[in-house]
Amino acid sequence: MKGIAMKKSLVIIVSLFFSGWIMSGQSAQNIQQNQKASQTKQTEQPKLKRGPHPVRPTKEMAQQASDPEARKILEKTSKKFSKLKSFQVKFRLKLDMPETDDDEIKEGTLYVNGDKYRLDFGDQLVVSDGKTVWTYIKETNEVQITEEDPENQMFKPRDLFSDFGDEYIYALLGTKKLKEYTTYVIDLTPIDKNKSFSKIRLYIDTKTYEIRRAIVFEKSGVRYALDIISFIPNAPIPNVLFTFDTTAYPGIQVTDLR
């Protein structure tokens, strides 16, 4: 159970950090099932002749409801990171499950240079040179090769820590000391109530405006805490890290889907 949950946590972190913090936490099959269930429920319910219709939250409403100070802080973070050409991040991901006292912790490293990236996390290694993506499973010694699709790209390195979008209502909770850092604590609450998580909590350095910690609060009670161990802006990253040499892995199973 914990192994599956940790796998899911990687998907959540990847989606959050690389897709502008927008993530539904549901598979396509689950979404379709929920849509069908919603349609069935609407068909079964009698139509009301009177009474006001509920107002569905919009991005504009989220902007108006958000804390102006929180938005200013996020804008400074976005501006800072959008100017970076490359960076290297070492992180620690902690999985806290309500049904057990045992926490699972894994560390990973992310390298980004423009549209190129390399994510080494647990038993997975994802490498992209901007055109081709190699997803390598260390335990089974197999790699899947696909083409990078700019329009449907899960990884969006340029948006890392920078594109927060208007899908959330922002609230500044105050400041908190994290080791030697003093951070702003900001909650991002999704306006889409169908998402699997209730909020994201960011801890942003008051001096550098770098994100030091991010916590995802799942509605199931599970929490994913991502701590930034080290961050190197404009790091000199060799291009060899953004390619995957299959000949370096004897007996590797290659699935080429290009």
Structure tokens at 41: 């429920």
| Domains contained in the chain, CATH given | 2-26+67-256 (2.50.20.10)
Q: Note the pLDDT of residue 79.
A: 81
Residue-level pLDDT, tens digit, the chain, 258 residues? 444 444 444 444 544 444 333 222 223 233 233 334 434 434 444 343 444 444 455 556 555 677 889 989 988 888 887 788 888 989 998 888 777 777 788 899 999 888 888 989 888 899 999 899 999 999 999 999 998 876 554 445 444 444 456 678 889 999 999 989 999 999 988 888 888 889 889 999 999 998 899 898 988 888 888 899 998 989 999 999 999 999 999 999 999 998
Q: Note the pLDDT of residue 60.
A: 60
pTM, to two decimals: 0.70
The tokens 């998580």 sit on which residue? 197
Q: Note the pLDDT of residue 20.
A: 32
Q: Note the pLDDT of residue 93.
A: 86
Q: Note the pLDDT of residue 183.
A: 97
Q: Note the pLDDT of residue 190.
A: 84
| 116-121, strands of its sheet edge to edge | 168-178, 181-190, 197-205, 211-218, 223-233, 86-96, 104-113, 116-121, 124-128, 132-137, 142-147, 253-256
Q: Note the pLDDT of residue 83.
A: 80
Q: Which of 113, 112, 95 is nearest to 104 (CA)?
A: 95
Q: How many residues does the chain have?
A: 258
Q: Note the pLDDT of residue 148.
A: 81
Q: Note the pLDDT of residue 201.
A: 92
Q: Note the pLDDT of residue 58.
A: 54
Query: pLDDT tens, 70-93?
Result: 989 988 888 887 788 888 989 998
Q: How many Å apart are CA 149 and CA 156, to the nearest integer? A: 11
Q: Note the pLDDT of residue 35.
A: 37
Q: Note the pLDDT of residue 239.
A: 93
Q: Could you give the residue ranges of the DSSP H alpha helices within the chain?
A: 2-18, 28-44, 59-65, 68-82
